[in-house]
Amino acid sequence: DNWNDWSEDSSENYGYRYISNYKVKCEHGPGCHFGRAVVPEGGLAEDASWSDITLITTWFNDDQPDALKCFYGRKIPRRDIANMSIAGLLRTTRSIHARNPDVWVVILAKYSNLRHYKTEWINELHRIIGGAVEKEPRTLFVDYDQPHPGNWVAWELWQKAHPNHPNCRGSKLMAHSVVQRLFQEKIIGRTIKLVDRAKNVNARNCHELHGAVCHTSVLCWVDPEDNKCKHYSGGSKQYYKHEALLNRETPTSRAWSREWTAAAFK
């Protein structure tokens, strides 16, 4: 989540900050609830400044479209939510570059377009966001290639255990798009060999495919045991938690969380 210019705190505004002239709840997670301790922009920028390439995703959560709890009970027009996202993305990007101007910042499109049909609002949103952020130096916006509308079977790129989030097929599509864009921009010197993505990205006759063509399809994978192309599962209905990982905090996140909490809610 991206943190923006905030107003001074008061009893009336406790737990909220003004972002692009709207009160926004200082908590992430679905409906601005269930979130963990936040890491503000400075903490994100410090971590990112040590990287060569930083990926930024999920710049707003549309799990609950109106998200009235997030905005002090107000329903926000879509274009204003886009403007709020731009403000946060630009602030985060500039903060990273202030610490290290050599970092490439790659902002990923929303994965809402992995649905059966891509809505025109998502198309427009990506045009707005991409046009704004790519004016910054060393900043790219990456959308995800997909077949023409209707060529996906509904929900085949989505998890069954955690609905409305990509499964490994969707993640593969996203990763391929990022790597290909980095290669096209000559940021990386090598890439994954893909064959006619427009034709093969959703090829589902896996047993008839070979090598790079198999790897191009997000519905197939090359089994290293026998080097044969096989069907790539959409995942199970169960989910698994890695408790050790879930409970882990980095020194940076702990330090920034304590500092921000003390400053914001004293």
Identity of residue 244 = A
* Contact predicate 129/107, CB 8 Å: yes
Cβ neighbours for 113, distance < 8 A, ≥ 6 positions apart:
119, 122, 123, 126, 143, 144, 146
pLDDT digits (tens, 9 = 90+) for 114-167: 666 667 888 889 999 999 999 999 999 999 877 766 677 878 888 888 877 889
pLDDT digits (tens, 9 = 90+) for 3-44: 444 444 444 566 788 888 888 887 766 667 766 667 778 888
- Report the pLDDT averaged over residues 95-118: 87
pLDDT digits (tens, 9 = 90+) for 189-247: 999 999 999 889 999 999 999 999 999 999 999 999 999 999 999 988 876 666 665 55
- pLDDT for residue 263 is more than 60: no
pLDDT band of residue 168 (cuts 50, 70, 90) is very high
How far apart are the C-alpha atoms of 110 and 122, rounded to whole Å?
A: 8
The CA-CA-CA angle for residues 250, 170, 83, to 5°, reads 70
pLDDT (0 to 100) of residue 256: 41
pLDDT (0 to 100) of residue 153: 81
Contacts 24+ apart (CB under 8 A), 186-195: 187/53, 187/104
**Domain residue ranges of the chain, discontinuous segments joined by +:** 166-235
Q: Higher pLDDT residue, 187 or 61?
A: 187
Rg of the chain over CA atoms, in angstroms?
A: 20
